[in-house]
Amino acid sequence: MKDTPMTPYRDLHDHIARLEEKGLLVRVDREIDKDSELHPLVRWQFTGGLKEEDRKAFLFTNIRNKAGRRYEIPVIVGGLAANRAIYATGMGCDVDGIRDKWADAIANPVPPRDVTDAPCHEIVEEGEILKQEGHGLDLLPIPVSTPGFDSAPTLSATNVITADPEDGVQNMGTYRCGLKAPDRLVVRMATRVGGAGGYQHYLKHQARGDTEMPVAIVLGCPPYVAFMGPQKLPIGMDEFTVAGGLAGAPINVVRARTVPLMVPAEAEVVIEGYIDVTKVEPEGPFGESHGHVALEEYNMPMRVTAVTRRRDAVIPSYISQVAPSESSVIKRVAYEPLFYHHLKTTMSIKGVKKVSLHEPLTGLLRVTLITIEPGTPPSEVWRALYGAAYFKGDCGKICIAVNEDIDVDSPDSIIWAMAYRTNPVKDVQTLEHRGQGHGPKREHAGEEDSTLLIDATMKAPMPPLALPAREYMERAKEIWEELGLPRLTPQSPWHGYQLGAWHAVWDAAAKRAAEGEYLENGRISAQLQVPGLKPETAVDPEESLRKLGK
């Protein structure tokens, strides 16, 4: 649907058309295996030595699985943030205007508009048909994100909607959802210091003695709405209102068919259902945005009550895992303005010129660079460093202040500045009491981290590097070259490999997923459901084997 007085913002179809007009889209009409070829192909533009401005969105129109089954619904990867130009296109501004547009939207939210006739309800599946192979979730061409390590196709570009059971305020977050059966998936939404907004709702439902929590998972929607999921707004703020602030007009929302939630009227696909808050189910492994594979954990099983979609639906999938990626670009473009506003406006540090989050491999959450104006008093430099270190609980483990002559995107420049512009006795501090945050190590046991000086060598086995395994990347490279795409210059690392913390059980599950047999993995994990455990409890694969009698 096009811009009209009722919808003064672009939906995903308008956005795709605009990307194509700007030369920011690659259409792939040749046959592609969604489980073993699709994500590795797009990954090459992040690992093959291309400059950021040369990265594109990829629209796949001829999708199959290994068994030869074809899918009618196209998939777009990189469509929201393969690079900053694509992100800016979705924001309706140039790259330099993104920071101010976010600040204005947060300061001037616009409530949504309720409608009754919505494109997202053009095709509806409810009831028993959802259980059938080829229907429900199994109808959707959801890719395996990290073939060789992931155990299932996983919804990655999600806007997961829940509501506070006490006041009804909705939350919308981007959480991964692993497919288990045509009418069942497992959601993981707890990671964030204190727990994500949806997880807070989950805990409230448990405290009330409820057995289930209503959920709506949105796949594909107007970019202003899609950008809300990855953005970390204060818990309790309705993201639809900030999306309206970005659009400068109300976002159209419609009541879901089977759950008491409001969803974007122009959504491509909406998966409705209920999360069981009384038990958990094994989920993962999955290649995570912190750059390692998240090992199998117990997370939240969800029974699907409806799958609704547009007739011409397009499904987005984020390219994530090891940064840079679409996931890290989305976060970087959104987070950096928040850091800058906090230091410059909230803390009134006049010498701050910009804040940059280091992206390659560290994925934004570990290294923060603050560009300081020459002549800024040392007290203000240190206020900026402290302010950046504590602004977000999962960011700023290493904070570095540099001047404007240092290229913050060049590690060599940063090391040069540290080598020649610091006196470690006077210019280096370490700070205690930092949480582990999002990463391969977790905070379950209350273990603390610290800030600034860290020995980053591997002290114990770690999960695999979160890239598709070598065989899949090599196959994808052949397809890349067959398509006549720009010449690749592979940058290490360009494929995933094991680092010790891995098990043959997960090898077998990953092989099944890459061969389109994720339903078998779902049948296995269904036998391993456990009552009473907290979500994100690690799964012991040896214990799983014992339970299965193997």
User: What stretches of 342-447 show up as alpha helix (H) in DSSP?
Assistant: 378-391, 411-421, 424-427
Average pLDDT over residues 238-248: 91
pLDDT for the residue 530 = 92
- In-domain check, residue 509: no
* Number of domains composing the chain: 2
Q: Would the pLDDT of 1 be above 50?
A: no
Helix 98-107 crosses helix 84-91 at what angle (to 10 degrees)?
Answer: 40
pLDDT for the residue 455 = 31
Q: Would the pLDDT of 454 be above 70?
A: no
User: What's phi and psi for 302, nearest 5 deg?
Assistant: -130, 125
In this structure, the number of other CB atoms found within 10 A of the CB of residue 141 comes to 22
CA distance 418 to 192: 31
CB 30 within 8 A of CB 59: no
Residues 332 and 312 in one domain: no
Q: Which two tokens stand for residue 538?
A: 């690690």
Distance of CA 210 to CAs 202, 204, 272, 285, 526, Å? 10, 9, 18, 29, 22
DSSP state of 467: S
Residues 314 and 331 in one domain: no
- In-domain check, residue 279: yes
Q: How confident is the model at residue 492 (pLDDT cuts 50, 70, 90)?
A: low
Residues of the chain with pLDDT > 90, as a percent, come to 54
Helix 326-341 crosses helix 378-391 at what angle (to 10 degrees)?
Answer: 130
Average pLDDT, the chain: 87
- In-domain check, residue 421: yes
pLDDT digits (tens, 9 = 90+) for 85-111: 999 999 999 988 888 888 888 889 999
pLDDT digits (tens, 9 = 90+) for 414-450: 887 877 788 888 888 887 776 656 655 655 556 776 7
CB 8 within 8 A of CB 248: yes
Question: Could you tell me the CATH number of the domain that includes residue 264?
Answer: 2.30.110.10
- In-domain check, residue 259: yes
pLDDT for the residue 4 = 38
Residues 134 and 195 in one domain: yes
pLDDT for the residue 445 = 58
User: What's phi and psi for 451, nearest 5 deg?
Assistant: -115, 140
- Of 193, 187, 238, the C-alpha closest to 216 is 187
Residues 283 and 335 in one domain: no
Residues 357 and 431 in one domain: yes
| Half-sphere exposure at residue 33, Cβ-oriented, CA atoms within 13 angstroms | 19
Helix (H/G/I), strand (E/B), else coil: 548 = coil
Residues 113 and 210 in one domain: yes
Residues 305 and 352 in one domain: no
pLDDT for the residue 496 = 85
pLDDT digits (tens, 9 = 90+) for 262-281: 999 999 999 999 999 999 99
Helix 12-21 crosses helix 84-91 at what angle (to 10 degrees)?
Answer: 130
User: What stretches of 5-64 show up as alpha helix (H) in DSSP?
Assistant: 12-21, 38-47
Domain that holds residue 220: 12-322
pTM, two decimals, is: 0.78
At which of 393, 425, 451 does a domain end? 451
Q: How confident is the model at residue 493 (pLDDT cuts 50, 70, 90)?
A: low
Q: How confident is the model at residue 511 (pLDDT cuts 50, 70, 90)?
A: very high
At which of 411, 435, 451 does a domain end? 451
At which of 291, 322, 353 does a domain end? 322
CB 114 within 8 A of CB 257: no
Q: Which two tokens stand for residue 75?
A: 């998939």
Residue written as token pair 């501090």: 429
Q: How confident is the model at residue 515 (pLDDT cuts 50, 70, 90)?
A: very high
CA distance 545 to 505: 8
Helix (H/G/I), strand (E/B), else coil: 202 = helix
- In-domain check, residue 50: yes
- In-domain check, residue 68: yes
Average pLDDT over residues 191-202: 74
Residues 135 and 110 in one domain: yes
Of the ranges 15-29, 73-87, 103-117, 375-389, which one carries the lowest mean pLDDT score?
375-389
pLDDT for the residue 108 = 92
Cβ contacts of 187 within 8 Å, gap of 6 or more: 160, 175, 176, 177, 215, 217, 275, 299, 300, 302
Residues 202 and 262 in one domain: yes
User: What stretches of 174-251 show up as alpha helix (H) in DSSP?
Assistant: 197-207, 223-226, 239-247
Residues 331 and 288 in one domain: no
CB 256 within 8 A of CB 306: yes
In this structure, the number of other CB atoms found within 10 A of the CB of residue 498 comes to 17
Cβ contacts of 462 within 8 Å, gap of 6 or more: 292, 440, 499, 500, 501
Average pLDDT over residues 363-385: 83
Helix (H/G/I), strand (E/B), else coil: 170 = strand
- In-domain check, residue 491: no
Across-strand partners of 274? 214, 303
Q: Would the pLDDT of 36 be above 70?
A: yes
Residues 318 and 402 in one domain: no
pLDDT digits (tens, 9 = 90+) for 279-297: 999 998 988 877 778 899 9
Distance of CA 437 to CAs 4, 296, 440, 445, Å? 43, 18, 9, 13
Distance of CA 260 to CAs 164, 209, 254, 263, 307, Å? 11, 18, 10, 10, 15
User: What's phi and psi for 309, nearest 5 deg?
Assistant: -160, 165
Question: Could you tell me the CATH number of the domain that includes residue 376?
Answer: 3.40.1670.10
Residues 257 and 401 in one domain: no
CB 328 within 8 A of CB 289: yes
CA distance 63 to 28: 10
AA letter at 198? G
Helix (H/G/I), strand (E/B), else coil: 239 = helix
Q: Would the pLDDT of 456 be above 70?
A: no
Residue of higher predicted confidence among 135 and 496: 135
Average pLDDT over residues 474-492: 89
Measured in whole angstroms, the distance separating CA 275 from the mean position of its chain's CA atoms is 20
- In-domain check, residue 49: yes
CA distance 342 to 284: 36
